[in-house]
A and B are shown apart, each in its own frame.
Chain A
Amino acid sequence: DTAVSQTPKYLVTQMGNDKSIKCEQNLGHDTMYWYKQDSKKFLKIMFSYNNKELIINETVPNRFSPKSPDKAHLNLHINSLELGDSAVYFCASSSVGSPLHFGNGTRLTVT
């Protein structure tokens, strides 16, 4: 009964490729997020969506494009991958004022 699930768990790819990470939540939450955790373990918000509408976009390069087909799904597409994109990407969800529930992350390695 995974509440927030992300796929894939690991993603290894070469510079210049385009890749997607998928996220699904079964908690009935209205808001979903993408966070990035870099090699220094610093967690930073990238995007949030509320009912399929973009709410937060934290000066992320436009090579990153989130897409929310419905309020239970938030995917992250990354174009022209760069070495600096290597990180762990976490999806999360919440309802207004409630704690965030995080997935277990997707470790992206760009070579």
Chain B
Amino acid sequence: DAKTTQPNSMESNEEEPVHLPCNHSTISGTDYIHWYLQLPSQGPEYVIHGLTSNVNNRMASLAIAEDRKSSTLILHRATLRDAAVYYCILRWGDTDKLIFGTGTRLQVFP
């Protein structure tokens, strides 16, 4: 299973953009890049996913490098509610198996 590498923690101030990086140098052509977040005492929650092209949804944007060896989750304006652990995960095609890494703990300051 291809692995991902993320910084352990990041900090941001409220209303500033946040760029959460993820390296996945061993990604294969059929791996989708998924992002989930986990709030304290809750289960993980889907954020966004993509294959090759950049993706936008109401929660965030996903920027995927041209060689697909890295990606960045972008929160356009951080809020206190965005403080969570963010997981970058590679999911092969339609496989049901999500392999979680250690994630990035995002702190947001008022």
Contacts and interface: CB of A to CB of B under 8 A. Distances in A.
A53 to B, nearest CB: 12
Main secondary structure of the interface of A (DSSP, over half): strand
A53 B103 CA distance: 31
B56 interface: no
A70 B36 CA distance: 27
Residue among B43, B87, B94 with max Cβ neighbours from chain A (10 Å)? B43
B102 A90 contact: no
Contacts, number: 49
Given A105-B42, A105-B43, A42 B96 contact: no
B2 interface: no
Query: Most chain-A Cβ atoms within 10 A of its Cβ — which of B42, B45, B87, B98?
Result: B98
Interface in B59-110: 85, 87, 93-94, 96-100, 102-103
Given A96-B94, A99-B34, A43 B100 contact: yes
Contacts of A43: 44, 87, 100
Nearest to B100: A43
State the majority secondary structure of interface residues on B. Answer: loop
Interface stretch (A13-21, A44-52, A59-67): A44-52
Interface in A90-111: 90, 92, 94, 96-97, 99-105
Interface string A26-47: 0000010101000001111100
A93 to B, nearest CB: 10
14 contacts: A31-B96, A33-B96, A41-B103, A43-B87, A44-B100, A50-B96, A56-B96, A92-B43, A92-B44, A96-B94, A97-B93, A100-B36, A104-B42, A105-B43
